[in-house]
Amino acid sequence: MKLKSLLSLLAAVALTGTALAKDIELLNVSYDPTRELYVDYNAAFAKYWQAKTGDTVTVKQSHGGSGKQARSVIDGLQADVVTLALAADVDALYENAKLLPKDWQKRLPNNSAPYTSTIVFLVRKGNPQNIKDWDDLVKSGVTIVTPNPKTSGGARWNYLAAWGYALKKYGGDDKAKEFVGKLYKNVPVLDSGARGATTTFVQRGIGDVAISWENEAYLAVKEFGADKFEIVVPSVSILAEPTVSVVDKVVKKKGTEAVAKAYLDYLYSDAGQEIAARNFYRPRNAGILAKYSANFAKLDLFTIDDVFGGWTKAQKTHFADGGIFDEIYLKK
């Protein structure tokens, strides 16, 4: 009898418990190098959200090449939020499946890019090929590791950074095309994602230089030791803006609109910016950027809007089927 009443008491407590605090589950579909960033950030957000509302929120993560991840969301992967490598991949969610409104990028500050990064070079210790700037990459005999721009967001930034450099230095799209063509002649393998390319370079020992996200290069140096790899910062590079968005259709169906929005807003808070900086992403917040300035070399950064007229245009000209990348790479 006593046991029975105890059990029913426990059941009652358990029931009221669930009625008071909700268990929420979000899915963040992201690109390759952000795994470590979002492991940190999800823990911080869960704490913040519990303190604020009492609800427990678990954020599940899915990572892969940015273009491939966008494709999965289009095909039905139930992402509450996407945090992809570039705006064009989020645009694809609108174009192919109308999962979010056309003007999604205007909904959050800084073009919906709470943190930025740039493209740098990762070389082996001592920099045996003496690589200092983009010009050193097109020399014959240098092998370069960079992923496939068709599937990887980082690879598209790499490509555009090289293009922008050549445009600035030599002037004219023809010269830039020639320069980028020469560069891709030195690429022996195209991995499908940024992380795969890094692993090819650091683990399999292929290539003299990896063109890489700044954050990815720092992570590799941190994981494998500064006695094995060095980071080389070129004179000019691109301001890479990884973009984030709520996937409206999914959150409406799941009823997670408020928490998904808060999840992205919190990226812009001091705490969120600090976590980004600690994971080698350049924070938007000037104060926090100054605090971590030792990690972020000063270099001449151009934006995709200034040089290429935005992602939609760049995507169409360079990476669509039959675009300039196909011309360059197939000619090889």
Partner 1 sequence: MATTVTHLKAQLGDDAPVSRATRDAPWVRWSLTAVALLFLAGFLLLPLAAVFTEALRKGLGVYFCALIDADALAAIRLTLLAAAISVPANVVFGVAAAWAITKFHFRGKNVLITLIDLPFAVSPVISGLIYVLVFGLQGWMGQYMNAEHPWLPWFQQWLVGQDFKIIFAVPGIVLATTFVTFPFVARELIPLMQAQGSDEEYAAVTLGASGWQIFRRVTLPNIKWGLFYGVILCNARAMGEFGAVSVVSGHIRGETNTIPLHVEILYNEYNFTAAFAMASLLALLAIFTLVLKSVIEWRYALSHKS
Q: Is the dihedral of CA 27, 63, 106, 114 positive or negative?
A: positive
Among 8, 96, 110, 235, binds partner 1 (CB under 8 A): 96
Q: In 54-98, where does DSSP find H-type helix?
A: 66-74, 87-97
Total site size for partner 1, rule CB under 8 A: 24
Binding flags for partner 1, 198-227, as an x/- string (CB under 8 A): -x-------------------x---xx---
Asked if 60 touches partner 1 (CB under 8 A), the answer is yes
Asked if 64 touches partner 1 (CB under 8 A), the answer is yes
Asked if 56 touches partner 1 (CB under 8 A), the answer is no
Among 3, 19, 23, 75, binds partner 1 (CB under 8 A): 75
Length of the chain: 332
Using CB under 8 A as the binding rule, the residues of this chain from 171 to 200 that contact partner 1 are 195-196, 199
- Interface stretch with partner 1, choices 70-78, 154-162, 168-176, 229-237 (CB under 8 A): 70-78
Residue 75 beta carbon to partner 1: minimum distance, rounded to whole angstroms: 4
Q: What one-character-per-residue DSSP string does 216-246 give?
A: HHHHHHHHH-TTTEEEE--SEEEEE--EEEE
Coil, strand or helix: which one is 175?
helix
Q: Which residue has the tokens 């090929």?
A: 129
Using CB under 8 A as the binding rule, the residues of this chain from 6 to 35 that contact partner 1 are 27, 32, 35
Here the tokens at position 30 are 């992201």
Please identify, using beta-carbon distances, which residue of 154 and 196 lies nearer to partner 1: 196
**Cβ-proximal residues to 112 (8 Å cutoff; 6+ apart), any chain:** 87, 90, 104, 105, 106, 243, 244, 245
Please identify, using beta-carbon distances, which residue of 35 and 168 lies nearer to partner 1: 35
**Cβ-proximal residues to 35 (8 Å cutoff; 6+ apart), any chain:** 61, 63, 195
220 within 8 A of 34, measured Cβ to Cβ: no
Asked if 53 touches partner 1 (CB under 8 A), the answer is no
116 within 8 A of 282, measured Cβ to Cβ: yes
The strand pairing partners of 229, in sequence order, are 124
- Interface stretch with partner 1, choices 8-16, 55-63, 132-140, 163-171 (CB under 8 A): 55-63
Asked if 153 touches partner 1 (CB under 8 A), the answer is no
Residues that bind partner 1 (CB under 8 A): 27, 32, 35-36, 60-64, 72, 74-78, 96-97, 195-196, 199, 219, 223-224, 253
